[in-house]
């Protein structure tokens, strides 16, 4: 993902979206932005993030360009200048505005962008009955693309609001019941020897998820749940952020240059204790029983070393997830405050899907046999294959139904404005 | 000024504002921002600039803090958190948001800021009959302070809109009649020997304008008008931006590192000629007869060297301006497109006031005998006295009546987002 | 390696060095620096590089600290202040001088460092008969450590001399005979299914080379030789450095920000053609038939995409290298000009060892079951396991005998001051 | 100066050097570098500084280029490539090595540079009898130029050695007798009304020192001596470096970003007290009675504000210095440790010349009527006329006889690696 999943192509052959699916996805984006002011939707708080308005427009540009322009005779672009503004990574589609300049676009306004969405949606609905199959494949792709941007819209908004001293809340906090701290981690043994991972067809997937291929697993076990805030607090209290030996070399340099001493958005209370966190419902208390989130790979790796464990590999995680329901768990179902929840009671692996993206120890590189699709749409998941790590499982900000076992999210090891968490693993 | 005129104290004894004056100033600020969207008013396009919303709120904070809080018993702050947000340089008044972070304040909204203004204005009007004299002095000061921010609001908005590929116009262009190119520069001889400059009392002035003091003038002459766009174009065509020997060492480094090849906001047309400029009325043709604007000190100095002349000193300029009407000329009178105008016909010095701030060859340093006033209000024009140059005369973005001969504007030599121009001088 | 191989521990149980081996390694370091001036040996041309003097002293510090200090009763440190100067990454061993500050150490002089080496060598020789086995293991480790620094000394010196407009030569050029361009690449099919890589014991290896473990190979083939300078020139002439679609996203940003248009040290001739290169024998002609060197991972990856191929994985490379003699090939045997040589005639895989380090498509991460050794010596190969890629096979600057199939060198994808080259691979 | 006084032309008509003067100046440069190693002389510790070798070569390049090449028929350049290496600011003389890259020149060696000096000196001595008058003027200029570089050589060496944890001493410390702390500052009233400053002819001067011109003085007094280390310590102890209100805005930003808390080269002792300083004689105790040195303009200005005073203007200083002997005081007379000395007993102004360059409150700008000389030699003192402040009087590192009342040294307000100190002034 990484603000980077800007194009791809289905890895398992054509799949057709239906119009209702399209309309539902489009409606969620609008709902997420419904309470934002024009200013909220226009500001860019860092180069990694984009304004909400940009997400809303860019996802529409995708449908306008690759479906309406290319497959609907006589379609007239909403505004020809906007292709320049709301293109993102598609070098093949010509110039685009520099990523770090997106906050300069105070115009078009949020209302104009909403009108753009309506224009595109109406044109697509009108064209639907006669849309050729390749265009329907692109609509399906565009829906998944938009779901990715729904998550980014939320995490970028969170980052923006975190910079405002007034600590504004996008939505009111949800009622929370005090949850008991989950019991100690139990280790769930994984498979050994040859296994197969990667998308095998039978449903939508991005190109980088395939092809399916063999891997060799070594004796190992996975933690049955995610690391909690209470456990992370113990790491802090034990001097985790001050102990060079726990950190990767690059991670230690990052800790020192950035003055890192806790997960992103953790805040000290008046007693200087880390008991508070900022979220889209504003300032609130850290829930000790819930999974930690907004930690970087460097932090995840250091924590695992401190805990005498390690992070899982992508193959270990993906084989373990094979039989689980990827749509069950704490996901995004609509506009409103979002957050992680304590692990439910029970046996076996829990929280594999939803709650927080799980850092793996695997670099984001091509699966054996991977080939990027030709053309602008195929530009690319492949071009981000250096320096990033794979994350699995989705988060509480991921639209429900978007994740699957083969899904590969990816970020640089220092990034942590996403809902990123930690599951431990160990050798057996 | 320099985004820096954040406090000062009258240099010539108390002067009382009347309520109508206050209300007129306040109304102009609102008028300037009347057509801005919430997003337009919230974005910050560079650390030197501030959002329009911030200017509107900060000027209100000044009245709320130094007049209402300090002099009106029982006044209740509009929102106590805002003092933190909209304070600027006043270290004595406690913490404040980092200058480069002002664009993160998507909330409070523009409408909330307008309500803040109304709250402050109403409170001040209600308190007016019983306001003690020191408070009225501060109101007068606050009016001048706000006038400075009116100019900054316009220049910051211009910078923001210049970054938008859609080239939005804040206001429609005014009708323009083709003006003949003014005749060649005529040299107006200045005084020699002892002279006196600096504010002498008898009207408002900022602390740094005084005290009045003697200087020694050397035989010299000033150009009778400002350098025009056509003359600047000749400088470009003669390779001015590519000739190291014309430039100060720091200026040459700036030209090369920034790739400077024309005044700010000049744009190439389709034939790659510099015939276009961006302004608050959008993209338009450069008027050859009008004064050049948006040039840095480095450029002004290089141009003067190329022309076989030099820049005037502050003392030369100020003594020459002594008998002229500082309210006559091309100034800001209300909301709407602004710009420089060709020199009027006639004899003697023209365009001394208005049109464009004139770079002088004088560093912005203390006048002999200068002392900063005590306290937060007195923080400071004085603290900016290193590395900057003095500019004189006001510009087309300066509210009419704000300028005077002793007025000292100041900016760093590389800055050029203000309406800055050039008058030549030479030794006799 | 990566200027990073600063500690490790044997992965396959103790191995004892003999004194002659130690003395031979120590003598080579001195020989490499024999013709350097004090100034040559003291300058640091970039933060990634270290002065030759520092390499000579740091390798001695290793023996002094971990062998003499810890295992030889009564040993008196040569100069106690030097431990601070010549420590490198060992956080566990206390403070050390910042890496980027090493060029400030104009003292101690090169001659003093040579005296330090003599002091350490004499003490170790005297202690040899009674040295306990753990200390002998550390001597063996120290010899491998010093061999790594011998290569770095050469590549750092090359970088330094490349910055001198006089283009000084460290050694005279060797006689070269015109070599025919090797024939087109032939593809050598590799194994499929389960295979085993990683160090299995039976000889020295660094900790990160183990443990031996299973991998799963997919049908593939490797090129029989390295990519040549002539082939790279065709990539340039075809616009390779100007075609965004060939590059990883990070790579394309690097090409543009650094203005990259050819391998490091390639120079244009008077006709602006890339026919020259700088090397330790000074300026010379590029040999079209020899392997390209000093290319980054980004360049290697882009070249492979342009060629319709890909880079090999570490597992593919290592299994293919299993039966080959790691000490045969173009390696470093003594002081003097170094360089790559054209592929010898013959069938099968050639140039697998020596000539140029081969970039693999594999990130430098832990082998399954890897555990860093405890203590300062064990600090670490492991701590560099993020963001870097594995290189295999050694180069013409690697001391002969230092490389082996399981050897894992690692650098960041933008680095190219090492002797890095390219072998293509493809899916079958 | 500012490492910037790279060319100039006499301001008062031709003055002829004699050969003995030339040879004496040349000998002092060699003597200052006599004890340096090749490495000491080659390292560059920051972009503002140059290697000693570069100073030795650059000053020779000046004589070779402007005297021997231009005025001695048949002169053969020592090495034609060196003109590129050792040119500095003279754009008119073609390309030159980037300033920050001078530390890369490990070759030519220090011995080669000494041979270069000998070659130039011999050629100039041989040509002397027939040297035309313009050439002799240039020799005189070259001698003053070389004296400037003698001071820079020392201050650059001091900076380099200060970065070495071994704290090497260039020369042994001189014997010091305990000096009593001078009595409190006495104020010496200066002149009022018209006065004349600037070089008036009758001896050598750089172009920027003239022309002589009138100024207008306001009632004021100067401190009779320089601020001492003990007085500076009181400023520190009173929280001077932590009190925002004492500092210029740019100065406060500098204090915070650099973590400044004392003059450069002050060091804390084991009790964390600032009782030690580093100098060219190594680490030693701070002498409380001696003038403070190595302070920036920002520090000087803040100190003056804390002391209820201000810095003198150039005109105040220069008129006060008019009758004093510029060759009396603590100056450089030969190789060996240098330092400031307590003010001698007596009445009136002391320490005006020598000890430490005195920051003035005057920006370094053109004197009225100043015109730079044509040609490469005239490139320029003039081109540094933005952003810098004037310093007066010379220092303990200035060759005796080099300073005079009209002498204008100049540095940026943050720079402090020169021997810079403070004399207070106040309004009357």
Sign of CA dihedral C291, C295, C297, C303: negative
Residues D175-189 as b or e (16 or more Cβ within 10 Å = b): eeeeeeebeebeebe
φ, ψ (nearest 5 deg) of residue D189 = -70, 135
Query: Per this entry, what is the length of chain B?
Result: 428
Distances (CA, A) of D69 to C295, D53, D65, D137: 44, 22, 5, 15
What is the DSSP secondary-structure string of A8-29? ---SSS--PPPHHHHHHHHHHH
Q: Which residues of D touch B94 (CB under 8 A)?
A: none
What gap in Å lies between CA A395 and CA D414, rounded to an integer? 50
- D395: distance to nearest CA of chain C, Å? 26
**């991670």: which residue's tokens?**
A251
pLDDT value of residue A329: 95
What gap in Å lies between CA C147 and CA C398, rounded to an integer? 8
What gap in Å lies between CA A238 and CA A233, rounded to an integer? 8
Q: Which residues of D touch C45 (CB under 8 A)?
A: 104
pLDDT value of residue C17: 65
Cβ-defined contact of B363 to D363 (cutoff 8 Å): yes
Residue C265 has pLDDT above 80, yes or no: yes
What gap in Å lies between CA B60 and CA B41, rounded to an integer? 16
φ, ψ (nearest 5 deg) of residue D285 = -80, 145
- What is residue D284's three-state secondary structure? strand
Tell me which of C363, C371, C378, C389 to substitute to probe the interface with A (most A C-beta atoms closer than 10 Å).
C363
* Residue B33: both structure tokens together: 């921002």
Cis-peptide into C211, omega within 30 deg: yes
Return the residue of D nearest to C168 by Cα: D107
Q: Which residues of C touch D84 (CB under 8 A)?
A: 165
Tell me which of D79, D86, D106 to substitute to probe the interface with C (most C C-beta atoms closer than 10 Å).
D106
* Residue D270: both structure tokens together: 């084991």
Higher pLDDT among residues B137 and D226, named by residue: D226
Residues D126-157 as b or e (16 or more Cβ within 10 Å = b): ebbeebeeebbbbbbbbbbbbbbbbbbbbbbb
Q: Which of D38, D97, D103 sits opposite C37 (nearest CB)?
A: D38
What gap in Å lies between CA A343 and CA C186, rounded to an integer? 55
pLDDT value of residue B378: 58
- B187: distance to nearest CA of chain A, Å? 44
Q: Rounded mean pLDDT of B238-243? A: 97
Distances (CA, A) of A219 to A193, A348, B198, D269: 8, 17, 85, 56
Q: Which of A39, A108, A109 sits opposite B106 (nearest CB)?
A: A39
Return the residue of A nearest to C426 by Cα: A369
Provide the strand spans (E) within C264-379: 266-268, 274-279, 282-285, 357-363
Q: Which residues of C touch A362 (CB under 8 A)?
A: 365
pLDDT value of residue B372: 76
Cβ of B111 under 8 Å from any chain A Cβ?
Answer: no
Q: What is the pLDDT of residues D127-183, one digit of tens each?
A: 999 999 999 999 999 999 999 999 999 999 999 999 999 999 999 998 776 788 899
Residue C89 has pLDDT above 90, yes or no: no
Return the residue of A nearest to B101 by Cα: A163
pLDDT value of residue A138: 92
Contact B351, B291 (CB under 8 A): yes
Residue B80: which pLDDT band, with cuts at 50, 70 and 90? confident
- C18: distance to nearest CA of chain A, Å? 33
What gap in Å lies between CA C341 and CA C351, rounded to an integer? 9
pLDDT value of residue B94: 60
Tell me which of D195, D213, D249, D251 to substitute to probe the interface with B (most B C-beta atoms closer than 10 Å).
D249
Q: For residue A287, what is the DSSP state? A: -
* Residue D292: both structure tokens together: 């403070």
Return the residue of D nearest to B248 by Cα: D383
Q: Helices marked H in D33-98 — which ranges? A: 38-42, 52-62, 70-71, 82-86
Neighbours of chain B (3+ CB pairs under 8 A): A, D
> C-alpha C403: how far from its chain's center?
10
What is the DSSP secondary-structure string of C87-144? --S-GGG-----GGGGGG---S-HHHHHHHHHHHHHHHHHHGGG--HHHHHHHHHHHH
Residue D12 has pLDDT above 70, yes or no: no
pLDDT value of residue D267: 98
Sign of CA dihedral D396, D398, D402, D403: negative
- What is residue A419's three-state secondary structure? coil
User: Whole-prediction pTM value?
Assistant: 0.95
- C158: distance to nearest CA of chain D, Å? 12
Cβ neighbours around D259 below 10 Å, total = 7
Residues C355-366 as b or e (16 or more Cβ within 10 Å = b): bbbbbbbbbbbb
Q: What is the pLDDT of residues D376-414, one digit of tens each?
A: 565 568 899 999 999 999 999 999 999 999 999 999 999
Residue B111 has pLDDT above 60, yes or no: yes
Query: Per this entry, what is the length of chain D?
Result: 428
- C212: distance to nearest CA of chain A, Å? 11
Give the pairing type, strands C357-363 and C420-421: parallel
Cβ-defined contact of B248 to D368 (cutoff 8 Å): no
Cβ neighbours around C29 below 10 Å, total = 22
Cβ of A417 under 8 Å from any chain C Cβ?
Answer: no
Q: What is the pLDDT of residues D326-357, one digit of tens each?
A: 999 999 999 999 999 999 999 999 999 999 99
Cβ neighbours around C181 below 10 Å, total = 15
Residue D122 has pLDDT above 60, yes or no: yes
pLDDT value of residue A205: 92
Cβ neighbours around A91 below 10 Å, total = 18
Model-level ipTM above the cut of 0.85: yes
Contact D406, D197 (CB under 8 A): yes
Q: What is the pLDDT of residues C46-67, one digit of tens each?
A: 999 999 999 999 999 999 999 9
Starting at the earlier edge strand, list the strands of the sheet with A220-223.
Answer: A187-189, A220-223, A425-427
B309 Cβ contact list (under 8 Å, min separation 6): B223, B424, B425, B426
* Residue C361: both structure tokens together: 């498509």
Q: Which of C337, C103, C98 is closest to D104 using CA atoms?
A: C103
HEC secondary structure over chain B: CCCCCCCCCCCCCCCCCCHHHHHHHHHHHHHHCCCCCCCCCCCCCCCCCCCHHHHHHHHHHHHHHHHHHHHCCCCCCCCCCHHHHHCCCCHHHCCCCCHHHHHHCCCCCHHHHHHHHHHHHHHHHHHHHHCCHHHHHHHHHHHHHHHHHHHHHHHHHHHHHHCCCCCCCCCCCCCCCCCCCCCCCCEEECCCEEEEECCCCCCCCCHHHCCCEEEEECCEEEECCCCEHHHHHHHHHCCHHHCHHHCCHHHHHHHHHHCCCCCCCEECCCCCCCCEEEECCEEEECCCCCECCCCCHHHHHHHHHHCCCECCCHHHHHHHCCCCCCCCCECECCCCCCCCCCCCCCCCCCCCCECCEEEEEEECCCCCCCCCCCCCCCCCCHHHCCCCEEEECCCCCCECCCCCCCCCEEECCCCCCCCEECCCEEEC
* Residue C307: both structure tokens together: 């060629």
Tell me which of B82, B106, B116 to substitute to probe the interface with A (most A C-beta atoms closer than 10 Å).
B106
Q: Which of C133, C128, C141 is closest to C62 using CA atoms?
A: C141
Parts of chain A with a pLDDT under 70: 1-17, 89-95, 177, 374-380
Cβ of C16 under 8 Å from any chain D Cβ?
Answer: no
Residue C95: which pLDDT band, with cuts at 50, 70 and 90? low
Residue D364: which pLDDT band, with cuts at 50, 70 and 90? very high
What gap in Å lies between CA A242 and CA A240, rounded to an integer? 5
Q: Which of B298, B363, B383 sits opposite D365 (nearest CB)?
A: B363
What gap in Å lies between CA C388 and CA C361, rounded to an integer? 10
Return the residue of C nearest to D170 by Cα: C107
Cβ of D218 under 8 Å from any chain B Cβ?
Answer: yes
- B299: distance to nearest CA of chain A, Å? 27
Contact A19, A125 (CB under 8 A): yes
* Residue C244: both structure tokens together: 């965004």
Residue B97 has pLDDT above 90, yes or no: no
Residue C7 has pLDDT above 50, yes or no: no
What gap in Å lies between CA B154 and CA B144, rounded to an integer? 16
């Amino acid at each position: 993902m990484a603000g980077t999943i800007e194009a791809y192509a289905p890895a398992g052959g054509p799949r057709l979206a239906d119009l209702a699916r399209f309309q539902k996805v489009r409606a969620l984006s609008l709902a997420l932005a419904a309470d934002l002011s024009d200013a909220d939707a226009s500001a860019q708080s860092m180069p990694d993030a984009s304004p909400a308005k940009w997400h809303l427009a860019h996802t529409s540009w995708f449908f306008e360009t690759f479906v309406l322009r290319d497959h609907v005779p006589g379609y007239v672009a909403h505004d020809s200048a906007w292709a320049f503004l709301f293109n993102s990574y598609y070098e093949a589609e010509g110039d685009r505005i520099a990523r770090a300049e997106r906050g300069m676009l105070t115009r078009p306004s949020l209302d104009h962008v909403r009108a753009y969405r309506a224009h595109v949606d109406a044109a697509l609905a009108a064209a639907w009955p006669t849309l050729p199959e390749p265009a329907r494949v692109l609509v399906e792709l565009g829906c998944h693309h938009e779901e990715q941007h729904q998550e980014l819209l939320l995490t970028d908004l969170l980052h923006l609001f975190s910079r405002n001293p007034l600590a504004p809340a996008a939505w009111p906090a949800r009622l929370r019941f005090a949850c008991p701290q989950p019991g100690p981690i139990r280790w769930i043994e994984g498979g050994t020897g040859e296994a197969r991972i990667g998308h095998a067809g039978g449903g939508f997937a991005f190109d980088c998820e395939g092809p399916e291929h063999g891997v060799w697993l070594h004796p190992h076990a996975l933690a049955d749940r995610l690391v909690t805030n209470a456990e992370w607090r113990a790491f802090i209290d034990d001097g985790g952020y001050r102990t060079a030996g726990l950190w990767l070399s690059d991670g230690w340099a990052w800790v020192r240059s950035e003055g890192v001493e806790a997960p992103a958005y953790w805040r000290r209370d008046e007693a200087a204790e880390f008991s508070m966190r900022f979220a889209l419902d504003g300032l609130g208390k850290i829930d000790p029983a819930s999974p930690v989130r907004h930690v970087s790979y460097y932090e995840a790796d250091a924590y695992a070393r401190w805990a005498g464990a390690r992070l899982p590999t992508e193959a270990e995680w993906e084989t373990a997830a094979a039989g689980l329901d990827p749509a069950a768990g704490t996901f995004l179902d609509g506009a409103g405050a979002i957050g992680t929840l304590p692990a439910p009671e029970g046996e076996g692996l829990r929280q594999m899907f939803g709650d927080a993206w799980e850092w793996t120890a695997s670099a984001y590189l091509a699966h054996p046999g991977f080939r990027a699709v030709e053309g602008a749409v195929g530009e690319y998941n492949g071009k981000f294959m250096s320096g990033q790590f794979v994350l699995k499982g989705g988060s509480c900000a991921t639209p429900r139904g978007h994740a699957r076992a083969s899904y590969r999210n990816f970020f640089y090891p220092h990034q942590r404005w996403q809902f990123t968490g930690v599951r431990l693993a160990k050798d057996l």
